[in-house]
């Protein structure tokens, strides 16, 4: 190891700012977040559906295991690993790394969504009970949590064979608990297979759509047809996922890809948090049917549309500026310099509010939740029926 390598190692280890409460957060978050996922699923299925009920709703160990769950999870991840190498779509380069190189990424996430949709149609045509996902929610979540820990351990161990320039600036502190949580290696790859990029938008995000469909089919089993509220939730969230995958190239300029190491924080978020908490509205509606008038539905659709428009326009502007600040669409926008020497937009969409993309996100999230409304008086009795099927 030469003097330059030693200096770089020292800089990477020391020039870090610890986030999420440092070591304390790195210990507590991996413990409490999995419990939070399981707790929220239980709450969504309980008659009261209240996070304030006491004692808190937590599953028994028997409810967390079904031999079918890990098989489905591993099969699903395996499917999207194969689809990652599907020869469709273009190949795009990421932003320049510290060593001056640029990694290549296949832009075929939307194709993976389409292939997954075709597979689901075939399964439905063959009479596969997709609605059984409702009963498997807890075992699937438990399997995803276990897979997150196992993958995070693998990523942490393999990071010690990565060159120093491949480590994330914030994940090489020398504190094993914190580095395991944040992630030491920036872009862990097996050959051309980028683990972080594959997990970022594919198995979890598309899995969210599949879980939603399972909840819709469960409602069809129970009531003969999907409710308007369930249709709205499924449609809104399918639009969000399809948009993310259609604009997959934009993720290459996000903090997750450019700055954050791939550790437990991102692994758990991708594989467990997103699919099993973002689908809570649909899971809630299975046991707590809601009646929506056409006027209320129209207002909710309008709110989601406004949120989506703000979200998409502001994100597109930000991504274009990050990839090419000289592009005519962003070249005239005002910017300010940061302490790191980068430029931040302060005009255009980014002149209205500090984070217009978050504003759009919040409006959409509100629209996703409004169909859940207030529980109908009879929903308690109906919901109890669901839990013992």
What's the token pair of residue 228?
Answer: 């308007």
What is the number of residues in the chain?
389
Predicted local distance difference test score (pLDDT) of residue 316: 83
Contact 122, 148 (CB under 8 A): no
Compute the distance between CA of residue 10 and CA of residue 88 in angstroms, rounded to an integer: 42
Please give the biggest Cα pair distance in the chain. 73
The whole model's pTM is what? 0.87
Quote the pLDDT of residue 382. Answer: 38
Of 141, 167, 175, 161, the closest CA to residue 274 belongs to 141
Q: Which of 53, 57, 66 is nearest to 36 (CA)?
A: 57
The reported pLDDT for the residue numbered 341 is 63
Q: Which residues pair with 379 in a beta bridge?
A: none
* pLDDT value for 360: 93
pLDDT value of residue 379: 38
How do the pLDDT tens digits run along the chain, 389 residues long? 444 544 444 444 444 567 877 888 889 999 999 999 999 999 999 888 888 877 777 888 888 999 999 999 999 999 999 999 998 889 999 888 888 889 999 999 999 999 999 999 999 999 999 999 999 999 999 999 999 999 999 999 999 999 988 898 888 888 999 999 999 999 999 999 999 999 998 999 999 999 999 999 999 999 999 999 999 999 999 999 999 999 999 899 888 888 889 999 999 999 999 999 999 999 999 999 999 999 999 999 999 999 999 999 888 888 777 777 777 766 677 677 766 667 777 667 777 778 888 999 999 999 999 999 864 443 333 333 333 33
Q: Residues 140-144: contacts with CB within 8 Å, 24+ apart?
A: 140/69, 140/72, 140/73, 140/276, 141/37, 141/38, 141/41, 141/272, 141/276, 142/38, 142/64, 142/65, 142/69, 143/69, 143/70, 143/73, 144/73, 144/271, 144/272, 144/275, 144/276
Angle at 7 between CA 6 and CA 13, to 5 degrees: 90
The whole-angstrom distance between residue 279's C-alpha and the CA centroid of its chain comes to: 11
* H or E segment to which residue 170 belongs: none
Predicted local confidence at residue 14, as pLDDT: 44
CA proximity to 248, closest of 81, 92, 80, 355: 92
Burial state string for 105-131 with b = 16 or more CB within 10 A and e = fewer than 16: bbbbbbbbbebbbeebeeeeeeeeebb
| Residue-level pLDDT at 380 | 35
């Amino acid at each position: 190891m030469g003097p330059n390598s030693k200096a770089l190692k020292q800089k990477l280890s020391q020039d870090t700012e610890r986030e999420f409460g440092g070591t304390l957060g790195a210990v507590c978050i991996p413990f409490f977040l999995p419990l939070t996922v399981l707790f929220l699923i239980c709450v969504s299925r309980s008659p009261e559906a209240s996070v304030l009920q006491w004692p808190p709703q937590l599953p028994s160990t028997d409810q967390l295991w079904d031999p079918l769950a890990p098989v489905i999870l591993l099969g699903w991840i395996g499917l999207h690993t194969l689809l990652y190498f599907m020869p469709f779509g273009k190949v795009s380069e990421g932003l320049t790394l510290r060593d001056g190189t640029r990694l290549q990424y296949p832009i075929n996430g939307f194709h993976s969504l389409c292939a997954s949709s075709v597979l689901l149609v075939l399964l439905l045509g063959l009479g596969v009970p997709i609605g059984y996902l409702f009963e498997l929610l807890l075992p699937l979540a438990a399997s995803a949590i276990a897979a997150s820990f196992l993958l995070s351990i693998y990523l942490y161990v393999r990071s010690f064979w990565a060159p120093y320039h491949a480590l994330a600036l914030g994940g090489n502190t020398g504190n094993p608990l914190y580095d395991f949580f944040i992630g030491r290696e920036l872009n862990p790859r097996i050959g051309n297979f980028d683990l972080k990029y594959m997990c970022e938008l594919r198995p979890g995000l598309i899995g969210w759509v599949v879980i939603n469909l399972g909840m819709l089919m469960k409602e069809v089993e129970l009531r003969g047809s999907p409710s308007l509220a369930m249709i709205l939730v499924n449609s809104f969230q399918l639009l969000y996922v399809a948009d993310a995958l259609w604009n997959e190239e934009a993720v290459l300029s996000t903090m997750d890809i450019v700055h954050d190491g791939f550790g437990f924080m991102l692994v758990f978020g991708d594989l467990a948090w997103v699919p099993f908490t973002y689908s809570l509205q649909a899971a809630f509606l299975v046991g707590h049917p809601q009646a929506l008038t056409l006027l209320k539905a129209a207002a909710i659709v309008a709110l989601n549309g406004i949120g989506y428009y703000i979200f998409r326009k502001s994100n597109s502007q930000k991504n274009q500026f990050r990839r090419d600040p000289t592009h005519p669409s962003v070249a005239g926008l005002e910017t300010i310099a940061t302490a790191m020497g980068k430029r931040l937009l302060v005009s255009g969409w980014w002149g209205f509010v500090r984070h217009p993309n978050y504003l759009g996100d919040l409006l959409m999230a509100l629209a996703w939740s409004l169909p859940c409304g207030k529980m109908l008086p009879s929903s308690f009795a109906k919901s109890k029926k669901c839990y013992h099927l």
